[in-house]
Every structure is written in structure tokens, then in C-alpha cells.
Amino acid sequence: MKDMRYSKKMAYIGAGCGIVLFAVFGLLPGSFLGGVMGLNIAGSLLGMPVSSILGRLIVAGSMVVGVMVSGIMFITASSVAGWLIGTVVDALAEGKKDLAAAEHK
């Protein structure tokens, strides 16, 4: 398995697919879940109608964290899946090369 060209290409393709999937399916839920966590944190620290600037900053920061975690999960999972597919293709291609070399001897 000297030549690992398909695994790199498939990892890049998987990362691209992960970005698209994140934009379609992960951006809004990540923002919602992060906002709910931020409301819970700000409510427990500052009291429940969150009306202060600090409470709003906590909610906004947790929304950003929720979106980032969602993006990391989508992109990492799809990159790993693409890399695994590419590794299998590399192994099959290497096996065909070895088989062809053995037939010519």
C-alpha cells in the first residue's frame, strides 16, 4: 500500500460533502441547541428572564459553540468515512496490481 492517492482524494471529497451537509442539516439545529443551553446557563447564573447584557452574551457565545460543534462533527465524520472508502479502494487497487504482477511471472 505504497500509493495512497485515493484515500487522500476521498477524504477531501468527504470533507466537502460534510460542509454541504452541515450547511443543510447542521447549522440551524446547532444554533438552536446552543441557544437553549445558553439560556439554561444564563438562567441559572443570572435569573430567569435573561435581560442583561451578560446573559445575552452567554446565549450568543453558546450558540456559536453549538454551531461549531455541529460543524466539527459533520465534517470530521464525513472526512473519516471518505478516507475509509479511499483506503479500501487503495487496497483493492494494490491487490489488482499484485495479482497482475504475479500472472506475468
1 confidence band (pLDDT: 50, 70, 90): very low
Whole-model pTM above 0.85? no
Where exactly are the structural domains of the chain? 5-104
- How many C-beta atoms surround the C-beta of residue 92 within 10 A? 11
Where does the pLDDT of residue 75 fall: very low under 50, low under 70, confident under 90, or very high at 90 and above? Answer: very high
Classify residue 47 by its DSSP letter: -
Question: Which tens digits make up the pLDDT trace of 28-51?
Answer: 999 999 999 999 999 999 888 888
Pairwise pLDDT comparison (97 vs 25), residue with the higher score: 25
Q: What is the DSSP string of 22-36?
A: IIIIIHHHHHHHHHH
